[in-house]
Structure 1
Amino acid sequence: MSKIVLITGSNTGIGLEIVKALAGASKPYTILMGGRTPQKVHDAISTVQKQLPTTSSTFTPIQVDIESDASIDQAFAEVQSKYGKLDILVNNAGAHFDQQLITGKLAISAREMWNKTWNVNTTGTHILTSTFAPLLLQGSDPRLLFITSGTSTLAGTEDPAIPLNWVPPKGWPKTGFNAPAYRSAKTGLNMLMREWYRWLKEDGVKVFAISPGYLATGLGGDPDFSRRMGAQDPASSSVGSFIRSVIEGQRDADAGKVINKDGVQEW
């Protein structure tokens, strides 16, 4: 029987690359493609089926908005009714609102932006994981993945090669490219991963945080800006195959850590 994988935010960016990588595997997966907008998920499924017409994996759209408890509960009820278990949960859904606030694309207050950033990247992820945990414990060799960020490392804040670590000139206000809300939320997500690693250790669930590298996704609302800052296109990166390798057990020795394709990311 194929393993059942739920991927949130699966219709674009890193999530879609994970779907493609699993669909291209030698063994089949039952891929539950989570997303807020059903039509976008259906379109993504069509894209994958056209690109990989011989895949033996199957795709099921799951409508879920991780900012909504009701949406999470409805998605859980659907998965529980159809499958009764979950083998892999990939918490991929996330968002970066800092720049959207700075540029005026997001018409909310700074406090609302910070709360929304944590709600999407950390709080909502925790609520969804808590809701689906009973199904995960029914899975075969269950795995729980959290997609974090290379910008979340505390040690890495001293690395001048990371664009977000630039030091602005003295004076106020401070302007330019920055993402304190996003970075803080993803650092919080790393601690959340550690908590889930501890909570589920005796249940045999392998838990990881995945640092995918700097990729030009729709995460911050402007992929072109990310490309100008040096981000790689997700489709031309190895992010999908890397995450598939974690799902398939190749990084089990690093469970409980933040990992990237080159090793373990510093805390």
Structure 2
Amino acid sequence: MASRSLEKGAAALRAIQSDPAIKSSLSAISLDVTSTDSITAAFAHVSTHHDRLDVLINNAAIHTNPRNRWPRNYLVLSLRIRSVPPSSLGSLVLAGDTTRFDSRVDALAYRMSKAALDMLVVQDHRKLGGKGDMNGEGGGKGERPIKVFAICPGLVVSELRGSTEEQRTCGGMAGDPEGSGRFIQMVMEGERDEDVGKFVHEGGNYPW
């Protein structure tokens, strides 16, 4: 698990580990996607402590003034991705649909960051899709193909919007993030492989 604040990441880790149903081995690292040094350090940490990286889920976003900041949000993707959770707020098609309730959500920096991730998914799928290793060289015996998805986890309870109950739950509209986690797990386990390279959500696909 990566977070800008290692203290907050460790707190989230303890909360997850307090569930007796969790059997997996978990750890927390610091990662600020607006800092090249932080990204480099995180990459070095993973390379040193783990044999390989099977899945990278990038759920980073910004919710502030985008000037001079949002392009750096994607340096983290030099790690190479197999799964990315963008948001329907990043869809250019849906942004122009005035019948949708979220078309009135400004969130300029957030929309920009997610729209840019959409393009990155399209390009990485074109470049990496079907390749046999994370360097794009492929062809090795026993290697698995790289699958790139854009995954919308839906509107869930989060402190990205703030720490009050109203902000965390988006006025009671936000769902339980556990459901989103289970959906992402389904994608990771191959249950949506027919939609590889697309912008998927639990009920189907979103337009770019």
The question of a shared fold, defined as TM-score above 0.5 by the shorter chain, is answered with: yes
How many residues are paired up?
A: 194
Which structure is higher in strand share? 1
TM-score, length-scaled by structure 1: 0.66
Which structure carries more relative contact order (alpha carbon 8 Å, separation 6+)? 1
Aligned residue identity for 1:232: A
Unaligned runs of 5+ in 2: 133-144
TM-score, length-scaled by structure 2: 0.82
- Displacement, 1:117? 5.6
Q: Once the two structures are aligned, what percentage of the paired residues are identical?
A: 31
Structure 2 residue aligned with 1:128: 76
After superposition, the CA RMSD in angstroms is: 2.2
Change (3 A) 1:73 1:253: same
SS in 1 for 2:56: strand
Structure with greater Cα Rg: 1
> In structure 2, which of residues 24, 27, 32 is the aligned counterpart of residue 60 of structure 1?
27
Structure 2 residue aligned with 1:151: 89
Aligned residue identity for 1:257: K
1:80-229 correspondence to structure 2 within 5 Å: 80-97=47-64, 113-115=65-67, 118-119=70-71, 123-124=72-73, 126-130=74-78, 132-133=79-80, 144-166=82-104, 178-201=106-129, 202-203=131-132, 204-221=145-162, 224-225=166-167, 227-228=169-170
Structure 2 residue aligned with 1:258: 199
Runs of 4+ in 1 over 6 A off after TM superposition: none
Task: Report the Cα distance in structure 2 between the residues aligned to 1:212 and 1:80, rounded to whole angstroms.
Answer: 28
Task: Report the Cα distance in structure 2 between the residues aligned to 1:227 and 1:43, rounded to whole angstroms.
Answer: 20
Contact 1:34 1:62 in 2 (8 A): yes
Aligned residue identity for 1:198: R
Task: Report the Cα distance in structure 2 between the residues aligned to 1:225 and 1:187, rounded to whole angstroms.
Answer: 23
Unaligned runs of 5+ in 1: 1-32, 98-112, 134-142, 167-176
- Displacement, 1:40? 1.6
Structure 2 residue aligned with 1:36: 4
Contact 2:158 2:169 in 1 (8 A): no
> In structure 1, which of residues 239, 248, 264 is the aligned counterpart of residue 180 of structure 2?
239
SS in 2 for 1:60: coil
2:13 matches 1:45: yes
Task: Report the Cα distance in structure 1 between the residues aligned to 2:120 and 2:127, rounded to whole angstroms.
Answer: 10
Change (3 A) 1:165 1:129: closer
